Chain A
Amino acid sequence: METKRKLRVATTSLAGCFGCHMSFLDIDEHLFELVELIEFDRSPLTDIKVVGDCDLGIIEGGLCNAENVHILREFRARCTKLVALGACAVNGGLPAQRNHLKLTEILEEVYHTSPGLAHGLIPNDPELPLPLNKVHPLHEVVKIDWFIPGCPPSGEAIWKALTDIVAGRDPELGFGTLHYD
């Protein structure tokens, strides 16, 4: 009997809150159907450290630091198609509300001048990724094939979009599933 090759799917959270991944899990018992259709590569849900060759990369969160950009480029290089999942990936989201503040002032306030900080210093270990001056949506750095808006997109929206993609269609959401909030 012939079995269709499963789609290989990687997921990651960049400047995200993991809410889109939680919403992904909200597809509940559809997860059983899903594992018949896909297998996971690098993802917060697996232990794979480096993204391999995949059919699909699903990315939540925008870009707020150098490591985010690095991972996004890796995903673009390894995945045939990329999905920007959720408001942050689509337009920077609420984290982009920092874009009208000066980065140095934010870091000063959080690590240095806030009351209650003993000997506050802005962390400067090279191990830590440097923050970008502004938060950016994914499509400003690499080509994104599909966008699924929502903060987060509902489980229903994610399921609809995934089944569209698995069936080879462009994902489409309509009244009731298309939300930006």
Chain B
Amino acid sequence: MSATFTLDGKEVPFRDGQTIIQAAQEQGAWIPHLCYHPEFKPHGSCKLCTVTVNGRHMASCTTQATAGQVVESNTEALNDERRTLLQMLFVEGNHFCPSCEKSGNCKLQATAYELGMMTPHFDHFYPSRPVDASHPEILLDFNRCILCSLCVRASRDVDKKFVFALSGRGIGTKLIVNAASGRLADTNVAMDDKALEVCPVGVILRKRHGFAVPIGERTYDKAPISECPDYSPLPAKEEA
């Protein structure tokens, strides 16, 4: 018999070493998350996956499952807190979805839809970070970066290239390109790098491929994110 914990009152079996979010996803239960990706080590930065474990707030992507835990996720209080986190992410960047090529395929946007966010609520930061258009095929718009570090992890752990890194402190923390010039064109990034496909938002974009999918047929037009398997839409590798 395998060990279980309860998630919102339902028994969830798990294997040794699994985190709460891993075990939950295996059962098809969606816990909101942005920086967690099943193929990578957890990062614990977005805090969207916060649940209560035996009454205490924990990030479910970094908390190991143990037998008998009482986990709550889909509660009004937790979803309120998640909406606040989403609002913070929206005002910290320039999320002008109407002109963003990732709109409809973006996990930040889809999660905000799922949690019914009607407004970003806080005062906007309106950051002004220059885009990097140096590479002939790839565009980077850093003003939409949520510092999830998925590109950093993918480049380091899968591509073995260290193309991206997080740098700076506090609100000054930003994504940088590891080249003496700081420009993507001066790295050994390649179009089939894993790092290019994991960005959950509209930072890493393939040039000249925007707006290819008709409205209504984009990933999160068809189903809410809670019903989608973990999906990281790429700047279309294979062009339709």
Chain A residues proximal to chain B, CB less than 8 Å: 84, 87, 90-94, 96-97, 99-100, 134, 136-137, 139-140, 144, 146-149, 151, 171-175, 178-181
Contact = CB atoms under 8 A, between A and B. Distances in A.
B120 interface: yes
Given A149-B118, A172-B116, A174-B116, A96 B123 contact: no
Contacts, number: 73
**Most central of B95, B99, B114 by chain A CB within 10 Å:** B99
A3 to B, nearest CB: 32
B39 to A, nearest CB: 27
B40 interface: no
Contact of A87 (B91, B97, B128): B97
**Most central of A94, A97, A175 by chain B CB within 10 Å:** A175
A181 B116 contact: no
Contacts of A87: 96-98
A90 B224 contact: no
Contacts of B98: 87, 93-94, 151, 180-181
For this complex, into which size category does the number of interface residues on chain B fall? Answer: 20 to 34
A90 B120 contact: yes
Given A91-B120, A174-B116, A181-B100, 11 more contacts: A84-B119, A87-B98, A90-B119, A91-B90, A91-B96, A139-B119, A149-B119, A172-B118, A175-B224, A180-B95, A181-B103
B122 to A, nearest CB: 9
Contacts of A174: 116
Nearest to B226: A175
11 contacts: A84-B119, A93-B96, A94-B98, A96-B126, A99-B126, A139-B119, A140-B123, A148-B118, A151-B97, A171-B118, A178-B118
Nearest to A88: B98
Contact of B128 (A100, A144, A173): A100
B124 interface: yes
A17 to B, nearest CB: 11
Nearest to A19: B98
A170 to B, nearest CB: 9
Interface string B91-130: 1001111111001100001001110101111011011100
A120 to B, nearest CB: 27
A151 B96 CA distance: 10
A146 B103 CA distance: 23
A180 B124 contact: no
A136 B112 CA distance: 21
Contacts of B94: 96-97
Contacts of B112: 180
A91 B118 contact: no
A97 B94 CA distance: 8
A135 to B, nearest CB: 9
Given A148-B118, A181-B97, A100 B113 contact: no
A156 to B, nearest CB: 13
Contacts of A179: 113
B164 to A, nearest CB: 22
A151 B107 CA distance: 19
**Most central of B90, B100, B118, B123 by chain A CB within 10 Å:** B118
A77 to B, nearest CB: 22
A45 B7 CA distance: 53
Given A99-B126, A99-B128, A180-B103, A173 B96 contact: no
Contacts of A140: 123-124
